Structure formats: structure tokens, C-alpha cells
Amino acid sequence: MEMTKGKTKEIVIILALVFILVLVGSLSADELVHKFGNPSFSGINQSAHYLTIDEQERTRAEKNAADIQDALEEAEREADNTVLAKFLRNLESRIYSTLAKDISESLFNYSGIPTSENPIAGEINLEGNILKWINNGTTITLIIEEWFDGVLVSTTEIVIPVGRFGGCWVDCDG
């Protein structure tokens, strides 16, 4: 039995040595190298990183500008929807409607008989622009002068034959 105990010890020692040799052979070591994960420090993919940062800053600035513009437009819409603003728009519309009716009645004035020697004429200044009309009995000439800062920008002349609109004061054919 002594012999088997000694042999068992030898076998255990040999197996331990083989195990250590196998373990040592498979181990390898290398030096530890620290690499930065951020491209700003390592330089790897640095330009793409800078482009990404630039894109984020640009989109954030655009969103802020859009938010400011939306807030301004919302405030403007709220100001336009007040009771006073609605009243003023309605009043202005009625005034322009009455003004257009009065000008139309002056153009087709049936109270006096216009002739080429004694035409019915009128003129009105509307927000710096001048509207002139002349009714000579056979035609009505409407002249619109557009002015900007005291300078005549354009002139439009419209000639309306009166006989086509329901009657002439004088002989329309002659």
C-alpha cells in the first residue's frame, strides 16, 4: 500500500505540473492602452463628430427661431380676434362699401344731364391715391393714379360706354 500511496502522490504532482504548463502556455499578456471614446480627444472620426455637433446646433437654432415665429404669429392672431379689431374691420368694410356706392352713383348720375360741353366729373383722394371720373353723356372715364411717397407710380384709365349700361343722356350713336 505504501507503494501505491507514493505512486498516487507522483501522479498528482505530474498532473498538477501538466495543468500549470497548459495554463501558463495559454496565458498571454499585452500592455494596457487607454483609448478615448470621444472623437474630440482621439481624433478618430473627428470630422464626422464635428458635423454632428454642428447639425445639432443648427437644428436647435432653427427650432428656436420657428418657436419664436409661431409665438409672434399666435399673438398677432389673438390681437386680430379681439372685439375691437372685429368692430374696426366691420366699420372699415361698411365705410368702403358706402364710398363705392356713392362713387358709383356719381358716375351714373341721372339728376343732371352730362354733355361733352358740361360733363359731370369728380375726384377723390383715397389713402394717397387719386380717383377721377368724368361722365360726358356717352362715356364715363375713370382715371386711377397710384402715388407712393409723393411720386406718381402708375396711372390706369378705364373708359366705360354709358349706352351699354342702361341708357344714354344724349344720342349714343351720334
**Per-residue pLDDT reduced to its tens digit, 60-77:** 999 999 999 999 999 998
Give the global pTM: 0.42
Task: Output the 3-class SS for the chain.
Answer: CHHHHHHHHHHHHHHHHHHHHHHHHHCCCCCCCCCCCCHHHHCCCHHHHHHHHHHHHHHHHHHHHHHHHHHHHHHHHHHHCCHHHHHHHHHHHHHHHHHHHHHHHHHCCCCCCCCCCCCEEEEEEECCEEEEEEECCCEEEEEEEEEECCEEEEEEEEEEEHHHHCCCCCCCCC
**Per-residue pLDDT reduced to its tens digit, 97-137:** 988 887 777 766 556 666 667 777 888 888 888 988 888 87
Could you state, in order of their start, the residue ranges of all structural domains in the chain? 60-107, 112-174
